[in-house]
Amino acid sequence: MSFHEELLEKARPIWDTMLGHPFLKETAECRIEDAVFANWLQQDYLFVQGAIPFISVMVSRAPLCVRSGLAPAIGALQEELRLFEEMASKKNVSLDNLRITPTCHAYIQFMLATAHSASFEESFALLYGAEKAYFDSWTWVKGNLKGESPWQPFIEKWSDENFQQWINWIEGVLDNLADQASTSLQEKMIEVFRLAGQYELLFWDMAIKGESWPV
Ligand code: MP5
Alpha carbon distance 189, 13 (integer Å)? 17
**Residue nearest atom 13 of ligand 1, based on CA coordinates:** 48
**Residue nearest atom 5 of ligand 1, based on CA coordinates:** 44
> Which among 160, 190, 166 is positioned nearest to 178, based on CA atoms?
190
Query: What atom in ligand 1 is closest to the CA of residue 77?
Result: 12
Alpha carbon distance 205, 215 (integer Å)? 20
| Secondary structure class of 127 (helix, strand, coil) | helix
pLDDT computed for residue 57 by the predictor:
98
Task: Using the mean position of ligand 1's atoms as its centre, give its distance from the Cα of residue 45 in Å.
Answer: 9
Pocket test for ligand 1, best of 158, 159, 170 (most atoms within 8 A of CB): 158
Task: Using the mean position of ligand 1's atoms as its centre, give its distance from the Cα of residue 131 in Å.
Answer: 6
Alpha carbon distance 202, 1 (integer Å)? 29
Alpha carbon distance 41, 47 (integer Å)? 10
Average pLDDT on 58-64 reads 97
Distances (CA, A) of 211 to 11, 21, 43, 155, 185: 25, 17, 11, 23, 35
Q: Where do the domains of the chain lie, and which CATH numbers do they carry?
A: 3-209 (1.20.910.10)
Q: Residue 68 — pLDDT band, cuts 50, 70, 90?
A: very high
The DSSP result for 100-118, as a single string, is --HHHHHHHHHHHHHHHHS
Q: Residue 122 — pLDDT band, cuts 50, 70, 90?
A: very high
**Residue nearest atom 3 of ligand 1, based on CA coordinates:** 131
Encode pLDDT of 163-198 as tens digits.
999 999 999 999 999 999 999 999 999 999 999 999
Encode pLDDT of 102-120 as tens digits.
999 999 999 999 999 999 9
pLDDT computed for residue 18 by the predictor:
98
The DSSP result for 157-199, as a single string, is HTTSHHHHHHHHHHHHHHHHHHHTS-HHHHHHHHHHHHHHHHH
Task: Using the mean position of ligand 1's atoms as its centre, give its distance from the Cα of residue 147 in Å.
Answer: 24
Pocket test for ligand 1, best of 40, 47, 155 (most atoms within 8 A of CB): 47
User: What pTM, to 2 d.p., does this model score?
Assistant: 0.97
Average pLDDT on 57-82 reads 97
Q: Residue 24 — pLDDT band, cuts 50, 70, 90?
A: very high
Percent of the chain exceeding pLDDT 70 equals: 100
Contacts of 190 (CB under 8 A, 6+ apart): 6, 7, 10, 125
**Residue nearest atom 9 of ligand 1, based on CA coordinates:** 130
171 and 7 Cβ atoms separated by less than 8 Å:
no
